[in-house]
Structure 1
Amino acid sequence: MSLGEHLVELRKRLIIAAAGLLVGLVAGWLLAERVWDILRRPIDDLQEQGRDAVLAYNSITEAFDLKVQIALFIAVVITCPVWLYQIWAFLAPGLTRREKLYGVGFIGAAVPLFLAGVFAAWYVLPNIVLLLSTFQPTEDAYYQSARVYIDFVLKLLLAVGAGFVMPVVLVMLNFLGVIKGKTILKGWRVAILVIVLFAAITTPAVDITSMFLLAVPMVILYFVAVGIALLHDKRVDKRRAEEFAEYGIDLSEPDLSDDSDNGGGKA
């Protein structure tokens, strides 16, 4: 495809993704209040523990802006099959019909992993809020800006959800022939370091439990992706060797046609 054709394809995929998000935004607006009641539970838990914890709105439009923000978050989550497929469709326009079936596997794995990441972030969120509130004297009121709170929560949910999808992206790149499984495996030390740093950034550094609750599943998913990539490479290499064998070429042996009988030197 030419550059112009790539741009046309990109515009097409963006329009479809935007249309899906628009439909999801309508549904998100209807569900925003229920989701807000769920997201604010950590603050309600502090109140049940006897803390003077309150979410405050600092401007006239803040409540409206917050509802729009939550509706957009819901739209991103519930329409993830749509925009994830558009990403795949744009990256792999030249695949064969059989190879395009990988897209079904990509969506089938990416969607539940993204939702699992969102759930994992929500699971550790009460621990994060409780831990950070302990730095404040108990006799002081815990007045938290609703805008600041929802920004923190939504960024945490989306970041961890995206982090859980990264192993699927590695497998996708391997199936497209962009990266080898051995290359992914060689970088396991760097990958673990990045995962730990990511978990430490998205959770308070002193909250070791929450950090490991996020890091351990991501490390496991990384090595699962490595295993799938290695198995795929092995199958591809075997099929390629069989194809070359039909022409009398053995890929398992080095080419010694330039070697002479005197130890490989030239005549």
Structure 2
Amino acid sequence: MALSDHLRELRARLVKAALVLVVAFVVALFFYDFLLDLILRPYNDAKQALPESVDTKAYIASAGGPLLLQLKLCGVAAIVASSPFWLYQIWAFLVPGLHAHEKRWTRVFIAVAGPLFFLGVATAYYVLPKGLEVLIGFTPDGLENLVEFGEYFSFFVRMLLIFGIAFEIPLFVILLNLAGVVSGKALGRYRPWIIIGTFVFAAVATPSTDPFSMLMLAIPMLFLFVVAEVVARSVDRARGRGRGTEQWSDDELSPI
């Protein structure tokens, strides 16, 4: 295809994705109350778990805040709800330029990446009330903790995105192994450093900064890393890697 044809195809797919996104946004407006309750539920659960001496209240700071909140909330919901469609449009635009083996591995990636991301989002939603309880619990006696809803919503979205993306990291490790960049033996050799790095990443990445959220992010990631190492070693054995006589170092000239 000529460059102009590629650009026309890209424009057509972008228009389709934009139209579906607009439709999803309009539909989300009708479910605004349900979405608002879904976002507020972690905060309300944390509020109920707090001792009576800690007083907290959510508020909206400006006159235009409620409208902006509704647009932001429905926009995020539309992006998430329509993600299968616009991700497919990206895939359909790229797939003609891939080789057969590349198409096979990208299908595997798409099939696994989605569930892993949603698993990370679900984990974040589960631990968020406990994280909020710990953070709000530091409020001194005699003071009221006021939670600005715009900041809370940004915190909520960051928390879910970080957990969802973090759960994808072991999948990228497997893809690097399939590409021949990382071996299962190397993963085993650097396992102690991977464990330390995972806890450091969890401590830095979690917006709530509480130990409970850090552990709930680090422990599943370590489990997924173990699965990635097992898969990588299985792939290495299937490809005949690490059998001594059949392998040479990067600086060694093969008999061929």
Q: Output the TM-score relative to the length of structure 2.
A: 0.75
1:37 aligned partner: 37
1:168 aligned partner: 171
CA distance in 2, matches of 1:221, 1:179: 19
CA distance in 2, matches of 1:196, 1:9: 46
Displacement after TM superposition at 1:187 (Å): 4.6
After alignment, is 133-142 or 42-51 more displaced?
42-51
CA distance in 2, matches of 1:139, 1:236: 66
2:97 aligned partner: 93
1:154-165 alignment to 2 at 5 Å?
Answer: 154-165=157-168
Specify whether residues 235 and 32 from structure 1 end up closer, same or farther in structure 2 by C-alpha distance, changes over 3 A only. farther
Percent of aligned positions that are identical: 26
Q: 1:119-143 CA deviation, whole Å, 9 max, x = no partner? A: 1111111111111111112432221
CA distance in 1, matches of 2:255, 2:42: 72
Task: Specify the SS of the correspondent of 1:144.
Answer: strand
Displacement after TM superposition at 1:178 (Å): 5.7
CA distance in 1, matches of 2:110, 2:42: 32
2:183 aligned partner: 181
The number of equivalent residue pairs is 242
2:40 partner letter: R
Which of the numbers 223, 231, 244 marks the counterpart of 2:226? 223
Specify whether residues 170 and 134 from structure 1 end up closer, same or farther in structure 2 by C-alpha distance, changes over 3 A only. same
- Contact preservation (8 Å) 1:110, 1:165: yes
Q: Output the TM-score relative to the length of structure 1.
A: 0.73
CA RMSD of aligned residues (A): 3.7
- Contact preservation (8 Å) 1:88, 1:103: no
> Which has the higher Rg, Structure 1 or Structure 2?
1
Task: Specify the SS of the correspondent of 1:81.
Answer: helix
Alignment gaps of 5+ in structure 1: 239-250, 259-267
Which of the numbers 116, 121, 124 marks the counterpart of 1:121? 124
